[in-house]
Amino acid sequence: MSKGHFTCLLRGLWVLWLWQADLVSGSKLWEVPIALFGSFSNHTTSLEWEPQCQYPHLQDGIRITADIPPRLEGSWVSTRCEVRPGPEFLTRSYTFYPSHLFKALQHYYTDSGCEEPAYSLVARGKLRLRQASWITRGATKTEHHLHKVGIVIHSPGAMHQLAARLPSVCVGLTLGGMVPGRLYELYNARAGRDCLGASGYSMMELGLVRVETQHQPHGGLVQELFLGDVHTNWTQRTYYRPMGYQQPLQNAMHHIHPCPACALLFRASEQRPPVLPHVPAATSLSLDGRWVSQRCEARPSVLFLTRDFTFRPDEHSWEGLYRHYSEPTCSQPTFTLRASGHYAQGGPSAKVAGGTEFVFKVTRARVTVLEGATARVLNETRRGSCGKAGAWEVGVEQDVTPTDGCTVLGIKLPHKEYELFKTELDHRRRTLLFIGERPTDGSSPDRPQKRPTSYQAALVHCCEEDTPTSQRHTNQLKLAASGTSNLPRLPFFVLVLVSLLWGWYCVF
């Protein structure tokens, strides 16, 4: 539900940044000035994130640092069964060696709990860090070369699942004749064998990396590896250059405890895929109450935000508060959007096991600008296109409902979205809410065919006793030791102009 509107805007920002890069470096677009990278390189960006709902264990705050460029050496594993657009259910276990070589293991499953392995893919190759990303601030761009990719099928059933995707005869092996448990080579750079094209497999996710270290109050360390996002459109995933992230992998040595999946994944191999422990399905999904982001979230096309939702099932109503920021620690706010409306809960998804279908209607939107330049741009908008022209002020909320949204911000009211939700328990037995992934192209899932088949980062449920007092707390992001002052400020007005010039029209 986080709405593709700003993604459209931020495509403008993307163009703008490329343009800036061009001005600064005076050469080709993709050559980012080394000086910028240098200014990032020895800084760790830190923040303390205090979620709005207070939990006893979080009261002291967790300090997060991110080294740029990141240190990738080590083994990184999934902490749960992951869902990719399609859907595909998988677990990942990637190892990076000091020699820049890597081994990436992906285990695919036939079920949404990752209990029935279908096949495993093992890729070996070389990865080099390149430069700080202009598009996704805080991320480092890389270049990778695959050496070999192999596949091991674990069940005869998986063969049928694959048959649709892999060419039935590829480099001399007939899919029907594959023996479960034996490794078959799909790709070998040296031997010139390439059966990947048709399989939809790629390691484009390695194109964008970020490592965050959480310093726990009691002294423990948790390290997370963010890799590039996978395009929600199957036909584009093999060439899409990531601009956002997938859910992070955790370091096999420094992960959150307990993590039953971590140990299983660390010990697994392509021949012995991990079988995740059975998690009893919730009898029914209840949205009641308040749900908040667990961290500063990054979106494809340069957007950093936190989300905060309240659902009232008895009234079928919801409200979402999206706080937008210009950089990856969520410390420089640009604006907040408060959207509300009604929703209807449908049945279990036929396409994505474990998911539940919803239809959301957005009928009201309010915007608070938190930055001078943006306020000035909105002030100049055509009368009747975005709230009261001339009445925009920093820190003052404006209702944009009477103008049917805000053209400049790409908000159109009323608006309908087809959604996919699921809930799960985390390692502390808190309830997590997963909301459907946004289409990567920045569009909105405004038709049933565009309903998501994968999920965004989980929101965590606020305890009952937190909700009434929550108004008192504001999201506080304390910069402990910061490199963010070196980041260029977001010239928001320019991107608005650029987006207008390009004439993107995005619905809410």
Cβ density class 152-187: b for 16+ within 10 Å, e for less? bbbeeebbeebeeebeeebeebebeebeeeeebebb
If the CB atoms of residues 289 and 439 are measured against ligand NAG, the closer one turns out to be 439
Please state, in angstroms and as integers, the Cα–Cα distance from residue 450 to each residue in 3, 369, 442, following that order. Answer: 13, 31, 12
Q: CA–CA separation, 8 vs 64, rounded Å?
A: 29
Min CB(8)–ligand NAG separation in Å = 15
Q: Are 52 and 462 in contact (CB under 8 A)?
A: yes
* Crossing angle between the packed helical segments 492-502 and 372-379, to the nearest 10 degrees: 40
Min CB(310)–ligand NAG separation in Å = 30
Omega cis (within 30) before 439 = no
If the CB atoms of residues 35 and 179 are measured against ligand NAG, the closer one turns out to be 35
If the CB atoms of residues 147 and 376 are measured against ligand NAG, the closer one turns out to be 376
Helix (H), strand (E) at residue 16: helix 5-25
> What HEC string does 115-150 produce?
CCEEEEEEEEEEEEEEEECCCCCCCEEEEEEEEEEE
If the CB atoms of residues 58 and 394 are measured against ligand NAG, the closer one turns out to be 394
Please state, in angstroms and as integers, the Cα–Cα distance from residue 430 to each residue in 63, 155, 294, following that order. Answer: 21, 34, 12
Min CB(178)–ligand NAG separation in Å = 30
Min CB(245)–ligand NAG separation in Å = 21
Min CB(72)–ligand NAG separation in Å = 18
Min CB(48)–ligand NAG separation in Å = 21
Structure tokens at 284: 């029914």
If the CB atoms of residues 231 and 307 are measured against ligand NAG, the closer one turns out to be 231
If the CB atoms of residues 43 and 137 are measured against ligand NAG, the closer one turns out to be 43
Binding positions for ligand NAG, rule: CB under 6 A: 42, 233, 235-236, 375-376, 379, 390, 392-393
N- to C-terminal Cα separation, the chain: 9
Q: Are 8 and 442 in contact (CB under 8 A)?
A: yes
For the CA atoms of 182, 186, 187, 190, the dihedral, rounded to the nearest 10 degrees, stands at 60
Min CB(490)–ligand NAG separation in Å = 16
Min CB(11)–ligand NAG separation in Å = 16
What contacts 432, CB < 8 A, 6 or more positions away?
A: 423, 424, 425, 426, 458, 459, 460, 461
Only one residue has tokens 């409200």, namely 319
Q: CA–CA separation, 424 vs 81, rounded Å?
A: 11
Q: Are 2 and 305 in contact (CB under 8 A)?
A: yes
Min CB(150)–ligand NAG separation in Å = 29
If the CB atoms of residues 93 and 444 are measured against ligand NAG, the closer one turns out to be 444
Q: CA–CA separation, 109 vs 153, rounded Å?
A: 11
CA angle 161, 225, 352 (to 5 degrees): 30
If the CB atoms of residues 272 and 376 are measured against ligand NAG, the closer one turns out to be 376
If the CB atoms of residues 376 and 427 are measured against ligand NAG, the closer one turns out to be 376
Min CB(412)–ligand NAG separation in Å = 19
Q: CA–CA separation, 86 vs 437, rounded Å?
A: 11
Q: CA–CA separation, 336 vs 2, rounded Å?
A: 12
Min CB(454)–ligand NAG separation in Å = 14
If the CB atoms of residues 366 and 376 are measured against ligand NAG, the closer one turns out to be 376
Min CB(235)–ligand NAG separation in Å = 4
If the CB atoms of residues 44 and 294 are measured against ligand NAG, the closer one turns out to be 44
Residue by residue, DSSP assigns 229-242 as PPPSSGGGTTTPPP
Closest CA to 1 of 507, 437, 491: 437
If the CB atoms of residues 174 and 235 are measured against ligand NAG, the closer one turns out to be 235
